[in-house]
Structure 1
Amino acid sequence: FIAMAIPSIGIGIILHIVLGKRMTNQKTVARDTSVLAEAPPAPGYMRRLITVIVLSSLTMAVAMSIVSFLPLFLVDTFGTSKETAAASLSLVFAMAFWAGPLAGYLSDRLGHLAIIISTCVITSIVIYLLSVVSYGFGTIVVLVLIGTVTAFSTIVAQAYIVDQTPAENRSTALGFYFFGSMEGTGILTPVLGYLIDHFGFHTSFTVGSAAILATLIICSSVLWLSRR
């Protein structure tokens, strides 16, 4: 973990130096001017913003909770070696290298909400399929899809928050989003573990899939009604 952290530290230092050189003494004036010139938010934006944060946070929390149990699932269900099961996580997290830029590209052209809703639908389906497909190519495809949709979800949700929130409240809104995603994962992971111990992987994954689908239906209804 220390070796993996060193490149991140180096990149952070480089970005700090490069971005620091581009800052001017007028940055405060420019920021104030941009806030004053910013168009007022559309009516009902707060309701839509809260709805998207809830939907995206819960989807991410459920997905990442299930990812935590993927090695155990592969070992107990398919009898894979511990090394292979642990290495399977690389398929999930490696997807961010290409899925992140693609998510931003599609979001700019198709709209944030369209991508967010589509991602939640796919996440619900993929989580259910995780315990249904046979081991082999099907499992690899499902793991790749999980990594892809989680990358899509976090990228597009942040873009929507930044785009729809007034400048003076963007950091607060992003803070709530990350709080919901991370702390939601912390809460749901032991709950999912309890369900797995008592009801098995298939039932637990089905419950997670159904939870995302139910939240999606409710939140989509709220978003649709707020546009009327």
Structure 2
Amino acid sequence: MTTVSPTTSGSSTTASQTASDAYTDNYQMFLTLLTTQLQNQDPLEPMDSSEFTQQLADFTAVEQAIATNSNLETLIALSQGTMAADSISYVGKDVTADTDEAALKDGEATWNYALDADATEVKFTVADENGKVVYEETIGATEEGSHTFSWDGETTSGTTLTEGAYTLTVAATDSSGNAVDADLTVTGTVTAVDLTGSIPIFIVDGLEIPMTSIVTVSEPEAQSV
């Protein structure tokens, strides 16, 4: 069953609305004071209006700034709404994400890794959620390009671990002993979307993956009957 977490409603009063209300109160007070002073000034010695003119100009500038902030908040809200609507369409799709974390499920965890050059040795190190190394494996010559590494959930000593999130580190070297870069990704099916934050979070095989980490999206492969 797929689920989509609802967005949480923020405060009904935005920062720009609060600023606008404060501005309105201050502006009305300013106009009241200005009107009162003009009505009670000495006709033979009229007051200098330059100060009030400057204050009026300042109030106008503040009003324009508040209006600009309000418009920006509206644009951001519309953008987030569009992103949320788009993210819901990912449910049920297969995605590949930039991450070194994979889920151990049904006795297997699988990572994709891409080598930037040919390697003479590649070492895989798996760690649990606490950073403790639970498994290590080293293989020989591996060509440049994309590969997969699967782990059955057993430690180096043969103990079977519980399901959960595990992290993979890949250390590869070439024939000269120089390090070869390895990019890690994980592929899985989106089962839910968390929209409570500013960026949608996809739930993929129990892992939380930000929408910004997704690199490919595809329809799931049809299962044979």
Same fold (TM over 0.5): no
What TM-score, normalized by structure 1, do the two folds share? 0.23
What TM-score, normalized by structure 2, do the two folds share? 0.24
When you count helix as a share of all residues, which structure comes out higher? Answer: 1
When you count strand as a share of all residues, which structure comes out higher? Answer: 2
Q: Which structure ranks higher in relative contact order (CA pairs < 8 Å, sequence separation ≥ 6)?
A: 1
Q: Which has the larger radius of gyration?
A: 2
